Structure 1
Amino acid sequence: MTLTEPVRERVQACFSGIWIRSHEHDDAIAEMATLCRDQQWPLAVWDIDRGLRSASDSPLQAEAADPLSAVQVLSALADEHAASLLILKNFHRFLQSPEVIQAVARAVTEGKTRRTILVILAPLVQLPIELQRLFVVIDHELPDREQLQAIATETATEPGEMPDGGDLERVIDAAAGLTRLEAENAFALSLVRHGRLQPDTLWELKTQTLRDGGLLSLHRGQESFDQLGGLDALKSFTRRAIGNGGPRQVPAKGVLLLSPPGCGKSAFCKTLGAETGRPVLILDVGSLLGSLVGQSEERTRQALATIDAMSPCVVMIDEVEKAFAGVQGGVNDGGVASRMFGTFLTWLNDHTSDAFVVCTANDVRRLPPEFSRAERFDGVFFLDLPGRDQKDAIWALYRQRFAIDEAQPRPKDRDWTGAEILACCRLAALLQLTLVEAARHIVPVAATSGEAIESLRQWASGRCLSADVGGVYRHPASAQPKRRRGVSSKPSLN
């Protein structure tokens, strides 16, 4: 989406204070300059480095070198026949001074009658309380697929450099979520390396960009469902929900996975991406926390906007009950966790991008009830301690991975999780022990947290879907026939 239409509407409605949130200032100014030229609106641009300049980049008033003078010059730009715009680049840096704040407030207030529009261009929104009701915020969105393809076409101009068909789609998938400049750089690097546009280079740069930004991380493994034992019902559900079987009329939202630790929640998230051909974006809520007022909420919005731009994708939020700790007032953080949680819930309910969200939790009871209500997720699944068939599949999988002889007897694995079977096989391979000897070093979570696991299983019974078999999860004890009181279970002697 371009800036042209939302800016045109607000200028024509005489919104005299506009804040544009953008990381690509040159592109935003170019779009606005085109709009102003078409509408015959005077336009000037100011920054601390070059001062006040016209839309054609020629210097204007030399006395507007400081931020206060830049704001005050807006009244001189007024035109009785048309709206006049003044763009202030990165002006959020100067909104700590009382004089500047007062000048901005006066300029916006008087702009309603003079038709002078003050536009602040910055990568984030940081408005002092005196100005919060005076500005409308517009997002300069990341380029969509059509814009990315146009950038690719402008970059790859020689014969053989531009792929087509499915290869081009994979290149655009890899570029989704990059800014215009980042995409252009990535395309250029791919041409230098391979002589044509290839997705591997773009994925490499995007992984580095996300890691450096600190908001998201990208997982692109080769694991598939075949390398994950059990969870047949969950696998089947997600294949139907987001598999590559053609266009879907009903968009999928995601799933919430609840289980004791070590039952394969995180491993499932990572294999889901490779299974469905989607990148897995890992959202670490703790990394969104900032030290400045409003920074955490702003970083949360940036992360969600990046997810929307990178769709189709899988979004993984691990141990979500810890990620949003303090939502219900348990932590004295000034309400930051509650606001971040509210922003996430709103996005989860309303987003229209093809982002499939997988949240994992070890105890969903620590989250407020609105998190797991209907329509937040397509399903809430409980991953129980693996049964005999699941454990047999997991043992076979990890025996093969660590080259352990099939003739080796297995240790007693009652109430073991998949993680404990993996740990046993890994120790046996590392220490050159038998599986039975390696098992002596394993303390199952069912032994250390037995009461908590049993309580969780009781809570999930009747409330969650089963990840292993179709339908609602039922605690194994509830399947046992109940003896009537007063009736002996011993056979009669008669």
Structure 2
Amino acid sequence: MKLTQRMNELIRACFAGIWIESHEHLDAIAELSAMCRDEDWRLAVWDIDQGLRHPNGSAIDVEVADPLAAVRAIGSLAAGDAPVLLVLQNFHRFIGSAEIVQAISRAVGDGKQQRAFIVVLSPVVQLPVELEKLFVVVEHPLPDRQQLCEMAAGIATEPGEMPDGRELDAVLDAAAGLSRYEAENAFSLSLVRSGRLTPDAIWELKTQAVKASGLLTLHRGGQTFDSLGGLESLKAFTRRSLLQRHRDAGQPRARGVMLLSPPGCGKSEFCKCVGNEVGRPVLTLDVGSLMGSLVGQSEERTRQALAIVDAMAPCVLMIDEVEKAFAGVGAGGNDSGVSSRMFGTFLSWLNDHTSDVFVVCTANDVQRLPPEFSRAERFDGVFFVDLPDREQKDQIWRLYLDRYGLDVDTAKPDDDQWTGAEIKSCCRLAALLDVSLIQAAENVVPIAVTSSESVSRLRQWADGRCLSADHAGVYRMATKTSRRRSVSTKPSVN
């Protein structure tokens, strides 16, 4: 719902205290001003720099010396039966004093009779306990595709500057998730560079904007499924579910996949490849970066990150090693339940979000995940990525021998129970140290040896419970007599 629609409803219902969460104050004020003109309502704006004024910048003949006087001015602005809105910009900076809290409380209480509305416009919601029940919070949404298209048309006015068809879709996909100010800058930069709107300049600014938020990172590498050996069933499942886009209303959308495996089997590489394979940006959510020092800040940053993800749809959201990300859930830790609340927020979004976001979560230890995380309808499938077999290893050897400029016919070491990461490490060390693959392998200790118990336990759990990433159908643990057995150095006890 647009900001003006939501505000119109609240004002007609006489909500005298409204908090608008927005980073785009000029646009929010412009929308409120247009709404007040259409409804014949009065609007005044206050900030610490320019004081009390009309939206057009002209001063109001009311003496306002400080934030407390600004709140008290609402009484003198109210006149007649027409509603009056007093917009207080960045007023969260001044609500720390008892006098201002009391003045706001009285103004909101009187506002119902006077039809005078206190509207706080701020990028964050910081309500003291005395005002929590008096204010309703409204989010100023980021521009949707239609609004971005209108902005682009307003900037690209010369012939040939505005693309159409699939080129326009690519531009709008690149601009999704940007604020109005950021989108205007991106469109202008694209025109300066290329003479028309193209996605490249927009992606550049978008990457910087996402990085500046400190909540997400945007991956735009060149990897595709061709650079990833094995995982044929997982590749086919993902490609089929994402490339057959259902854009008609009411049609199902792909939700995502959960990947379980021992470390080094290609889960993270798959996440990086899937974006280029299906033409979507890959966002990485680092749950640790969401943690804040203030009460409620972590939960708020989680909601903010998920809002950015929704706005950037269609996209791929990657959460690597999710069992570590929410390690405090249900563990009785000393974080006052912050991890549990963050996890609950993410679970609710995972189940209820309607945006076209394909979620890929990876985990190495399934026992640390609560059972409700992987239940049906949160993911399209839970896949187990086992250690590569002989055919897959040969593909991986060819990939990394070619990448590091090594002879494909050179003798290879015994790679029993090796993962793709260990093959990559062997090739990289051979190129780095200028030694043979067999010599480089002396520096590689497989995870199947160092953590043989956990790998075996994970395989046993996945047997019959997960889909196979390599072959169609349910994963079944192979009974290979050739598996490497760890040799115990502990002396036997008679």
Asked whether the 8 Å contact 1:48–1:65 carries over to 2, the reply is: no
Question: Is 1:41 aligned to residue 41 of structure 2?
Answer: yes
More divergent stretch after superposition (261-270 vs 145-154): 145-154
1:138-165 deviation line (CA, Å, top 9, x unaligned): 1111101111111111111222222222
Q: Which amino acid aligns with 1:451?
A: E
Question: Is 1:445 aligned to residue 447 of structure 2?
Answer: yes
Q: Distance in 2 between matches of 1:198 and 1:389?
A: 42
Equivalent residue number for residue 329 of structure 2: 327
1:249-289 deviation line (CA, Å, top 9, x unaligned): 21111111111100000000000000000000111111111
Equivalent residue number for residue 106 of structure 1: 106
Give 1:244 deviation, angstroms: 4.9
1:357 aligned counterpart, secondary structure: strand
Equivalent residue number for residue 29 of structure 1: 29
Give 1:211 deviation, angstroms: 1.1
2:158 aligned counterpart, secondary structure: coil
Give 1:11 deviation, angstroms: 0.5
Q: Which amino acid aligns with 1:344?
A: F
Equivalent residue number for residue 338 of structure 2: 336
Counterparts in 2 of 1:451-462, with a 5 A limit? 451-462=453-464
Equivalent residue number for residue 179 of structure 2: 179
Asked whether the 8 Å contact 1:91–1:120 carries over to 2, the reply is: yes
Asked whether the 8 Å contact 1:282–1:317 carries over to 2, the reply is: yes
2:435 aligned counterpart, secondary structure: coil
1:130 aligned counterpart, secondary structure: coil
Give 1:2 deviation, angstroms: 2.7
Asked whether the 8 Å contact 1:101–1:131 carries over to 2, the reply is: yes
Counterparts in 2 of 1:56-67, with a 5 A limit? 56-67=56-67
Give 1:299 deviation, angstroms: 1.3
Question: Is 1:225 aligned to residue 225 of structure 2?
Answer: yes
Give 1:330 deviation, angstroms: 3.7
Q: Distance in 2 between matches of 1:163 and 1:374?
A: 41
1:129 aligned counterpart, secondary structure: coil
Match for 2:281 among 250, 272, 279? Answer: 279
Match for 1:386 among 373, 385, 388? Answer: 388
Give 1:25 deviation, angstroms: 0.4
Superposed CA RMSD: 1.6
Equivalent residue number for residue 160 of structure 2: 160
Give 1:230 deviation, angstroms: 0.7
Equivalent residue number for residue 485 of structure 1: none
Give 1:406 deviation, angstroms: 2.4
Q: Distance in 2 between matches of 1:44 and 1:182?
A: 27
Question: Is 1:262 aligned to residue 241 of structure 2?
Answer: no
Give 1:79 deviation, angstroms: 3.0
Equivalent residue number for residue 467 of structure 1: 469
Q: Distance in 1 between matches of 2:65 and 2:281?
A: 46
Q: Distance in 1 between matches of 2:260 and 2:88?
A: 49
Asked whether the 8 Å contact 2:46–2:70 carries over to 1, the reply is: yes
Asked whether the 8 Å contact 1:2–1:31 carries over to 2, the reply is: no
Q: Distance in 2 between matches of 1:246 and 1:30?
A: 36
Equivalent residue number for residue 435 of structure 1: 437
Match for 2:416 among 414, 417, 431? Answer: 414
Counterparts in 2 of 1:49-448, with a 5 A limit? 49-244=49-244, 247=247, 249-448=251-450
2:443 aligned counterpart, secondary structure: coil
| Count of aligned pairs between the two proteins | 480
Asked whether the 8 Å contact 1:43–1:55 carries over to 2, the reply is: yes
Equivalent residue number for residue 487 of structure 2: none
Change (3 A) 1:478 1:330: farther
More divergent stretch after superposition (1-10 vs 400-409): 400-409
2:130 aligned counterpart, secondary structure: helix
Asked whether the 8 Å contact 2:217–2:285 carries over to 1, the reply is: yes
Q: Which amino acid aligns with 1:31?
A: E
Q: Which amino acid aligns with 2:94?
A: F
Asked whether the 8 Å contact 1:325–1:331 carries over to 2, the reply is: no
Q: Distance in 2 between matches of 1:245 and 1:117?
A: 45
Which stretches in structure 1 are left out of the alignment for 5+ residues?
A: 481-494
Asked whether the 8 Å contact 1:51–1:62 carries over to 2, the reply is: no
Q: Which amino acid aligns with 2:259?
A: L
1:360 aligned counterpart, secondary structure: strand
1:45-65 deviation line (CA, Å, top 9, x unaligned): 111111111233211245323
Q: Distance in 1 between matches of 2:65 and 2:355?
A: 43
Give 1:73 deviation, angstroms: 1.3
Give 1:477 deviation, angstroms: 3.3
Q: Distance in 2 between matches of 1:136 and 1:245?
A: 38
1:282 aligned counterpart, secondary structure: strand
1:255 aligned counterpart, secondary structure: strand
Q: Distance in 1 between matches of 2:332 and 2:415?
A: 38
1:328 aligned counterpart, secondary structure: coil
Asked whether the 8 Å contact 2:62–2:73 carries over to 1, the reply is: no
Give 1:199 deviation, angstroms: 0.9
Q: Which amino acid aligns with 1:36?
A: C
Asked whether the 8 Å contact 2:245–2:253 carries over to 1, the reply is: no
Q: Distance in 2 between matches of 1:79 and 1:335?
A: 48
Give 1:478 deviation, angstroms: 9.9
Asked whether the 8 Å contact 1:44–1:54 carries over to 2, the reply is: yes
Q: Aligned residues: percent identity?
A: 64
Which stretches in structure 2 are left out of the alignment for 5+ residues?
A: 483-494
- Runs of 4+, deviation exceeding 3 Å: 244-248, 477-480
Change (3 A) 1:245 1:20: closer
Give 1:68 deviation, angstroms: 1.0
Q: TM-score if structure 1 supplies the norm length?
A: 0.94
Give 1:335 deviation, angstroms: 1.6
Asked whether the 8 Å contact 2:81–2:115 carries over to 1, the reply is: no
2:329 aligned counterpart, secondary structure: coil
Asked whether the 8 Å contact 2:246–2:252 carries over to 1, the reply is: no
Q: Distance in 1 between matches of 2:333 and 2:268?
A: 26
Q: Which amino acid aligns with 1:466?
A: S
Asked whether the 8 Å contact 2:427–2:437 carries over to 1, the reply is: yes
Asked whether the 8 Å contact 2:19–2:138 carries over to 1, the reply is: yes
More divergent stretch after superposition (265-274 vs 127-136): 127-136
1:438-482 deviation line (CA, Å, top 9, x unaligned): 1111011111111111111111112111111111112223999xx
Q: Which amino acid aligns with 2:175?
A: A
1:418-438 deviation line (CA, Å, top 9, x unaligned): 000111111112222111111
Q: Distance in 2 between matches of 1:190 and 1:407?
A: 47
Q: Distance in 2 between matches of 1:425 and 1:475?
A: 29
Q: Distance in 2 between matches of 1:144 and 1:479?
A: 57
Q: Distance in 2 between matches of 1:330 and 1:438?
A: 44
Q: Which amino acid aligns with 1:123?
A: P
